[in-house]
Amino acid sequence: MFIRYVYYTLILTVIKQILTCPIPFNIQSKCRCAITETGRVYIYCARKQLIDIPHFDNSNIIFDELVLSGNKISNVNKNAFNGLKLRKLELQSNPINQIETHAFIDLANYLEEFILSTTLRTSQLTSKTFAQILVELPNLKRLSLRLFDLSNLVNISNNNNSLILRKLTQLSLLSCSITQMDDIEIFINLFPNLERLDLSENRLESFNIPLISSLKKLKILILSKNKIRHLNIRSSLSSTILTPSNSLTELDLSYNGIETIDENIFELISSQLEILNLRNNELLTEKQLTFLIHLNQLREFYLDYNRLESIDHLNFPLNLKILSLKNNRLNQLDLSVLTRLEYLEKLFLSSNKLTKLSSKIKNTFLSLEILELDRNYLSFLIPLNAPKLKQLNLDGNYLGTKIDKKIFSNLVSLERLHLRDNQIEFIDYNTFQNTRLQSLDLRNNSLKTFPLLIKLNETLQILSLRRNQLCTIEKHSLNFYHNLLTLELDQNPLHCDCRMERNFKQIKLTGQCESPPERRNVNLNELPNEQFTCSIMTTSQCNYLTKTIIDSEKDTTTATTTTTAKTTSMDIVEKLANDIDRRQESFQNTTTDTFPLELIRISDLIITPNVNKTQLIIQWQLFPSIVDENPNIEYRRKYLKHHNINGFKISTNSPVYKLSELLDILQRNYTIDYIQQGEICLYLLRKIDYEKVCKQLYITSTQTLKSSLIIDPDQEQLPQSQSQSQQQSWLMNEPTKSIIIGSIFGILFVLILLTCIILIISRCPYLLFCHLHSSKYHQSNDSKSESLLVRPTPTNTIPWSNQSQQHFYPPPPPPPLLHHHHQLRPISYQASLSTQCTCPTHYHSSGTSSTDSGSACINGQNYHIYQEILHDDYNVQNNHRTYRPLKTDSNSPPTSVSTNTTMNSEQCQFCSLSVLV
């Protein structure tokens, strides 16, 4: 009954929140109200390209959180949150430049946590803005500011002497350009109950001991990524009586480049420290760590990424539970220094230069649960006595072809073991008989047989055998492990024939067949259930199984074939087997001592997008070229192993940073998702170092990018086969599709243009004829401009009729060459010096035409006329022209010139054409 009541109450709460959501209708596509499984009610408006704070409706509900992060808000206006009641406000990752007064005043009674950051390096968010936030939000408990300009913290309380934030317990001022904090009294008066102070990514150069001593309730102090080089006691403090803080339990001084630490400095800071972080500093010797003798309560000590070479004489605090010494320069280690730490649970010694682990006395790690020794130079391990050890990491060492089973004899609680990249070829069946392994990682070794390990058949659940030399999986191998859930067999030379087990339904399996050719790259869990025939393994790694397959082939062929046919097939099989054995023996005779000692490096990096622009194909080559030219795969593998090559990795930084898994040493290509911009890097991993080649990527079309970071002088003289392959690759990368489409469009354009020209010539031949004669006429004319026309002095003046009246008169017969009707465009008559002939232009109302003299023009009586022919329509039905008088001023009526002489039709035609032109 109670559960039903709680269920209905929760449903009613959800309905009530939906009905009372204060989001206006116009922004409901960008903001939403929601409730979590724990009953927290919040408003989510993150990453919605908002440029202003939304105007919410009034609501009586107290929302637990409002998220406005990742938008484009630049200004926070006055009363921006009017009508809202919030407990937490997230306003980070916005380009905020200005905050107006009383912007947060409406949240004063309820807001407890405020996270504010800007993406602008230079803004108007200063100490004054910081003080404004403190005044308007007096009930804050947690405040986090980023990228403010707080270089002058004195201005915080100049105008607010009575300001005290008693409820504020956590304060973070990240990247706020703080250089010093000498005004201790101001800070203490503002935040008397501060418990956590984070001043990371500032410009502090000294460690302010008086400030820490004055904050009596401070528990956590983070000063990471500052510029503190020395932790020394100043001379001015030697005579000052300071009371160390008994509340400070965690101190983070990582990423400072600290070089020296005073032995007695922590007596003045706090002797109750439990967590001390000194990662990424410049500590060199044990003498710089003598301060540890005063930290009796220390439980976690992080000293990664320093330059320590030895810790054999250090006195670690006896209460340590976690000790991390990753990425130092330790070359040997006496375990007796650490076994006396009875409470030690986690020990991290990865990425050092350890070659040997020794112990003067046979002590026991009584509480150790996790031990990491990966990426060192260990070739031998003494037996470890750790009854509670659950996880052991030995990746990337030199444990050799066979593992000593004594190493794991006392690890009775071991559950997870990592042994990748150790060149292991054989594992004894009782190596892990005293353990309780559930996960075993054997990736990138040289195992040729499927490991069958006693006492693990009941416990082992995850087995990883990627990048080994396994050729087949027999049925009894899988049946051996009863509780196996995951089996990884990727990148093994698996031969999928009659010997291959195919009943993988009970486990999660990864891996593909490499041979025979008809089943190459077929996933193991997709193999059909039909009976496969036995065949010869032509893969070099699987020659050891060839004779066994031949014997099975003999037994199967005797029952189905005749004696003669059987003998013939057996002769062929034996001949092939002998050839394979001879090649294998000749290869085995080639020892690693005969390999030349050359530095193997990356000679070329090629990045090519595929045709569909969905993937990028990354290809690379090594120098010297003999590494890839030898057809013998096993020879190439041993050659690279002899030169301490572990494999390759590829990283991309767009849209986010990604790092591929370790690629096989023989692999020369890799495929990633398509990106247009970013950086792609190829890592050549060796045992002790690595080589990195990067390429800045910017693709606008289908193209191939080559790295120019490494220039090889021998690259110019490539073998013929290599040059041919590069030429073929170049041809495949040409934008053939674009060229073909461009050619087709070009041909179509030319055809359309020719068609238009032919149609114009065939339908309007008179245009060409008229243009020809018009040119001859104008050559004989002595006019200075071809577009000017002068009319002679009129002989009579005829008044124009009303403009609304129109009269139609038959025109003179057209020339015999013109057979088409056309509409003449309006022409503007302008002044000219002289002319030789004129053409009939207008008809007056009396029915007689007004023409100019065609052969004998009147000299000395010409005058200039400026008038425009507005319309000149040709009536096709009546076969005559319609002439309309020009619109003129009433004070000066237009006139027309009339003569008694006429022109012949051809001359008139030429003249009229010249006027048109």
The string of pLDDT tens digits covering residues 763-816 is: 766 555 544 444 444 444 444 433 333 444 444 433 434 443 444 444 444 444
Strands 230-231 and 370-372, bridge-based pairing = unpaired
Q: Are residues 706 and 799 in the same domain?
A: no
CA dihedral over 146, 150, 151, 153, signed as positive or negative: negative
- Neighbour tally for 194: CB within 10 Å: 21
Q: Is a pLDDT exceeding 80 seen at residue 700?
A: no
Grouping H, G, I as helix, E, B as strand and the rest as coil, residue 2 is helix
Grouping H, G, I as helix, E, B as strand and the rest as coil, residue 527 is coil
Q: Where are the beta strands (DSSP E) in 72-111?
A: 75-76, 88-94, 98-99
Residue 655 lies in a domain: yes
Q: Is a pLDDT exceeding 70 seen at residue 447?
A: yes
Segment holding 726, helix H or strand E: helix 720-733
Q: Are residues 709 and 780 in the same domain?
A: no
Query: Are 665 and 643 within 8 A, CB to CB?
Result: no
Q: What is the pLDDT at residue 786? A: 38
Strands 98-99 and 75-76, bridge-based pairing = parallel
Q: Are residues 792 and 685 in the same domain?
A: no
Q: Any idea how long the chain is?
A: 917
Record the tokens describing residue 824, joined without a space: 């003449």
DSSP letter assigned to residue 524: G
Residue 663 lies in a domain: yes
Task: Tell me the C-alpha to C-alpha distance, in Å, between residue 662 and each of 114, 449, 645.
Answer: 43, 22, 12
Q: Are residues 677 and 798 in the same domain?
A: no
Q: What is the pLDDT at residue 578? A: 52
More confident position, 531 or 209 = 209
Q: Are residues 837 and 701 in the same domain?
A: no
Q: Are residues 866 and 781 in the same domain?
A: yes
Please state, in angstroms and rounded to a whole number, the distance separating the CA atoms of residues 261 and 4. 62
Please state, in angstroms and rounded to a whole number, the distance separating the CA atoms of residues 600 and 649. 16
Residue 636 lies in a domain: yes
Q: Are residues 699 and 602 in the same domain?
A: yes
Please state, in angstroms and rounded to a whole number, the distance separating the CA atoms of residues 824 and 770. 14
370, burial (CB in 10 Å: exposed 0-12, middle 13-18, buried 19+) = middle
564, burial (CB in 10 Å: exposed 0-12, middle 13-18, buried 19+) = exposed
Residue 458 lies in a domain: no
Kindly state the average pLDDT of the residues 77-82.
93
Residue type, 93: S
Please state, in angstroms and rounded to a whole number, the distance separating the CA atoms of residues 24 and 56. 6
Kindly state the average pLDDT of the residues 104-118.
95
DSSP letter assigned to residue 383: P
| CA atoms in the 13 A half-sphere facing the CB of 879 | 4
Q: Are residues 914 and 778 in the same domain?
A: yes
Q: Given phi > 0 = left and psi -120 to 50 = alpha, else beta, which region is 727?
A: alpha
Q: Is a pLDDT exceeding 50 seen at residue 608?
A: yes
Please count the structural domains in the chain: 2
Which of the listed ranges 594-603, 614-623, 631-640 does the model predict with the highest average pLDDT?
Answer: 614-623
Residue type, 101: T
Q: What is the pLDDT at residue 735? A: 52
Grouping H, G, I as helix, E, B as strand and the rest as coil, residue 900 is coil
More confident position, 327 or 406 = 327
Residue 441 lies in a domain: no
Establish whether the linkage from the previous residue to 192 is cis, with ω within 30° of 0.
Answer: no
Kindly state the average pLDDT of the residues 33-44.
91
Residue 461 lies in a domain: no
Q: Is a pLDDT exceeding 50 seen at residue 563?
A: no
Q: Are residues 796 and 707 in the same domain?
A: no
Nearest to 224 by CA among 261, 252, 183: 252
Q: What is the DSSP string of 153-219?
A: GGGGSSS-TT---SS--EEEEES--------HHHHHHH-TT--EEE-TTS---S--HHHHHH-TT--
Domain endpoint, select from 694, 715, 736: 715
Q: What is the pLDDT at residue 377? A: 93
Q: Is a pLDDT exceeding 60 seen at residue 73?
A: yes
Query: Are 245 and 218 within 8 A, CB to CB?
Result: yes
Query: Are 48 and 25 within 8 A, CB to CB?
Result: no
Establish whether the linkage from the previous residue to 735 is cis, with ω within 30° of 0.
Answer: no
Residue type, 385: N
pLDDT digits (tens, 9 = 90+) for 342-393: 999 999 999 999 998 887 767 789 999 999 999 999 988 888 889 999 999 9
Record the tokens describing residue 358, joined without a space: 């020794």
Q: What is the pLDDT at residue 161? A: 65
pLDDT range class, residue 8, cuts 50, 70, 90:
low
Q: Are residues 705 and 784 in the same domain?
A: no
Q: Is a pLDDT exceeding 70 seen at residue 730?
A: no
pLDDT range class, residue 907, cuts 50, 70, 90:
very low
Q: Are residues 789 and 917 in the same domain?
A: yes
Residue 883 lies in a domain: yes
Q: Which domain holds residue 641?
A: 597-715
Q: Is a pLDDT exceeding 60 seen at residue 128?
A: yes
CATH number at residue 667: 2.60.40.10
Q: What is the DSSP string of 615-671?
A: EEEEEEEEESTHHHH-S-HHHHHHHHHHTTEEEEEEEE-SSS-EEPPPBPTT--EEE
Residue 861 lies in a domain: yes
Please state, in angstroms and rounded to a whole number, the distance separating the CA atoms of residues 392 and 373. 8
Mean pLDDT over each residue of the chain, to the nearest integer: 75
